[in-house]
Amino acid sequence: KAGVTQTPRYLIKTRGQQVTLSCSPISGHRSVSWYQQTPGQGLQFLFEYFSETQRNKGNFPGRFSGRQFSNSRSEMNVSTLELGDSALYLCASSFGVSGNRAKNIQYFGAGTRLSVL
């Protein structure tokens, strides 16, 4: 079974540009969550999509957005990039079933490292 695939692995952008990151979940998983990881703030939750709907959102500005397609693949977009957006962006997939069960374990991709110059 293929794991979570994130593309691209590395990106270099300049301030003011926008960027789109892609995530293909494990087959059968309907939930995709996005996280930002920086040395200063650690791992922070961005948002979660389930069946093409945003189901949960973290405390990030509106420049951060996402979407999910009918095949569960997800994209996140960051507009008007700032230097502080430089980070490792991780996506994770799961069955998305709420409750105290092993099926809500999240499986992570290798991440996209974004550098904003």
Binding site for other proteins (CB under 8 A): 4, 6, 33, 35, 42-43, 45, 48, 50, 55-56, 58, 88, 90, 92, 96, 98, 100, 102, 104-111, 113
Backbone angles phi, psi at 6, to 5 degrees: -115, 135
42 vs 62 by CB, closer to other proteins: 42
- Minimum CB separation of residue 97 from other proteins in Å reads 9
Under a CB-based contact definition with an 8 Å cutoff, are residues 49 and 61 in contact?
no
Output the smallest distance, CB 88 to other proteins, in A. Answer: 7
Tell me how far, at minimum, the Cβ of 16 lies from other proteins, in Å: 26
From residue 44, alpha-carbon distances to 1, 69, 70 in Å are: 28, 23, 26
Rounded least distance, CB 109 to other proteins, Å: 5
Residue 4 vs 81, nearer CB to other proteins: 4
The two beta strands, 42-50 and 53-57, are: antiparallel
Nearest alpha-carbon partner for 79 in 116, 48, 53, 52: 116
Between CA 33 and CA 107 the distance in angstroms is: 10
Q: Which is nearer to other proteins, 51 or 80 (CB)?
A: 51
